[in-house]
Each structure stands twice: as structure tokens, then as C-alpha cells.
Amino acid sequence: MSRAIVLRLLQALPIFLVVSVLVFLAAHAGGGDPITNALGGTLTQDSLDAIRREYGLDRPVWVQYGLWLQHLAAGDWGTSLVLRTPVFEVLGRSFANTLVLAGAAVLLCLAGGVAVGVASGLRRGTWLDGAAMLLIQVGHNFPVFWSGLLLIWVFGVKLQWFPVSGMYDMRGEQDWPDLLHHLVLPALSAALISMLVLAQLVRAQVIEILGSDYLRTFRAQGLPRRVLLGRHLGRNLLPPVLNVTGLQIGYLLSGVIFVENVFNWPGIGTQLYNAAAGKDYPMIQAGVMLVTACFIAVNLATDIALDLLNPRLRGGVAQGQP
């Protein structure tokens, strides 16, 4: 197992390096150096030159990249051009808020996707199954951005059930109930599409399991349907659910980045948007690399979890095993 983990980390390293090159070049591409782009209208030329030397921008590009990568690996993520505070501190606070939103979205995705998929599969051909399939088909056509706006309009503006901006009510006590109240709409918006994808897969797996030979054999022997489902459904659903959830978490995380801007949630997505608007290249570079590391870590954790469940089930479904 440890060898497999090391191999996967080595496979992820080239991806991380390629992303680092792309984000470095993108952050530095834009008609003039980043210091002038971000601060050119507020400082004198001498001050700009001093800041340029401070950030190493007076050196060749490949030297700048090497130094940046070296500092990044050492935990020195630089200083924000706009906020003039360490990038690590700013992104640390934002990342914690993103984890809260992403964690809630993952829980909603799992709970809603499994519940809808199992209910639809067990009642195949009924009105409940038809309603679930209609919801799945319609939901697939809604991008995260538009689903967020729709939720805001229905539940925030028309019904006024939930707040539509921020993480807390600045006029309130900022406690857990307040956080959960603000969390509902952005978490649902981020989770919706992945939830529907998971529901569709779970429905298909439930139908396949119900029609399997070994389940029909046990049923013919007189075992109650409830016992059969309780004993075999969860065991056979877990690997494919975990697999598709791992794949969807990457999409879900990217959705969270957009959702944060729609709901003004103070996370990595909002911070990256503000950094791009302010041409704060140290913040952009470190933020993108942090998100990339999260994608890699999630995929690695999913692979490890699947291996721990059963190496033969990696990437697939239990093939009729009781």
C-alpha cells in the first residue's frame, strides 16, 4: 500500500509542475511586469523599482520561476501586492472557509445522491422514479452559476427563507446556527449537479443488483427482501459510489470556486477573483497551486480508500458477489 501511494504521488508530481509553469506564465503575462500592472498608478518609479527588486522581478524569468517554486515548497508563498500581508495567512483563512463550504457540499451530494438513487431504483417504473429521472435530466442542463442564481431568486428573494450573501450576519452573534443558515444555499448550489450524477449512477447500480442472479437465488430461498437489501445493497453500492464521488469532488471543488463568488462566500474562490481583479500575482499563483494540490490529494485519497475496500473493486462495481 505504501509503495502504491508513493507511485501515485510521483505520478502527480509532473501534473503539479506543469500547472506551476502555466500559472506562473499566465500571472506574468500582461503587457508589462506585474508590479507596474498592480501598483503603477499609486507609487513613484523609484518605489516601483524597489518593490520589483524585492520580488525578484529584475531577474530572468526562468530564475524567477525557480526561486518562486523553491520558496513555495519551503512554505514561503510571498507577500500580497494589494494587502501587503503574507499570502499564506490570507489563503489560510480563506481555505478554512472553503473547506466548510466544500465539506457541506460533499455531504449533501452523498446524502441526496444516494437517497434519490436508491429510492428511484427500488421503485423503478413508478411516478417517483419518473420524477427523479426528470429532475436528473433537467438538472444536468443547469451550470453551477445558473443554479446558484436560481436558488437565490427562489429561496432568497421570493421566499426569503435563506440569506444570499456572506458567511455570517454581521449584525448578529455569528454562531453555528447563523453559519448553517448561510451555508444552505451555496452548499446546495455547489452540490446539485454532482448529486444528480451520483443519483443516476446509484439508480443504475440498484437496478443491476436487484436483477443479479445471486440475489434472485437468495430470494427464491425465502430470505426477506429487507434482509437481502440490507445485507447486499450497501456492500455492492459502496465501491462505485466512492469511485464516482471521488471523480465528482474535483468537479464539485471547481464549482465551489464559482459558487463562492455568486454568494460572496469568503473562501479561496472569492480571494482568487479579487486577486485577479487587483492583478495580485503572488496571491493568484499560490491560490491556484493550493487548489491544484487539493485536487491531487482528493484523487489520491479516493484511490487509497478504494484499495482499502477491495483492490479488485477499484474503478468498478462488484460483479455479483454476495
Confidence at residue 144, expressed as pLDDT on a 0 to 100 scale: 75
Q: Where are the domains of the chain?
A: 1-87, 95-309
Asked if pLDDT for residue 317 goes beyond 70, the answer is no
Tell me the C-alpha distance between 259 and 256, whole Å: 5
On the CB side of 26, CA atoms within 13 Å amount to: 13
Tell me the C-alpha distance between 288 and 242, whole Å: 26
Tell me the C-alpha distance between 308 and 35, whole Å: 49
234-276 pLDDT, tens digit each: 777 777 787 777 777 777 777 788 888 889 889 998 888 888 8
Residue 113 CA: distances (Å) to CA of 144, 194, 197: 16, 8, 8
Q: What is the mean pLDDT of residues 15-40?
A: 74
Confidence at residue 185, expressed as pLDDT on a 0 to 100 scale: 92
Q: What is the mean pLDDT of residues 50-66?
A: 78
Type of residue numbered 99? L
Asked if pLDDT for residue 294 goes beyond 80, the answer is yes
Which cell goes with 267? 473562501
User: Contact, 315 vs 243, CB < 8 A?
Assistant: yes
Type of residue numbered 35? I
Average pLDDT across the chain, whole number:
79
The DSSP result for 5-35, as a single string, is: HHHHHHHHHHHHHHHHHHHHHHHH-SSS-HH
Tell me the C-alpha distance between 37 and 34, whole Å: 5
Q: What is the mean pLDDT of residues 201-230?
A: 73
Which cell goes with 202? 446509484
Asked if pLDDT for residue 32 goes beyond 60, the answer is no
User: Contact, 162 vs 184, CB < 8 A?
Assistant: yes
User: Contact, 82 vs 280, CB < 8 A?
Assistant: yes
* Residues 6 or more apart in contact with residue 141 via CB below 8 angstroms: none
Tell me the C-alpha distance between 113 and 241, whole Å: 9
User: Contact, 192 vs 139, CB < 8 A?
Assistant: yes
pTM, two decimal places: 0.77
Confidence at residue 251, expressed as pLDDT on a 0 to 100 scale: 74
Confidence at residue 174, expressed as pLDDT on a 0 to 100 scale: 67
Distance of CA 299 to the CA centre of its chain: 11
Confidence at residue 230, expressed as pLDDT on a 0 to 100 scale: 67
Q: How many CB atoms lie within 10 A of CB 135?
A: 16
Residue 139 CA: distances (Å) to CA of 1, 63, 276: 39, 48, 30
Percent of the chain with pLDDT over 90: 3
Asked if pLDDT for residue 139 goes beyond 80, the answer is no
| Cell 523553491 -> residue | 70
The CATH code that applies to domain 95-309 is 1.10.3720.10
| Cell 429510492 -> residue | 119
93-129 pLDDT, tens digit each: 899 999 899 889 989 988 998 899 888 888 888 888 8
> Which of 191, 25, 47 lies closest to 112 in space, CA to CA?
191
Confidence at residue 193, expressed as pLDDT on a 0 to 100 scale: 85
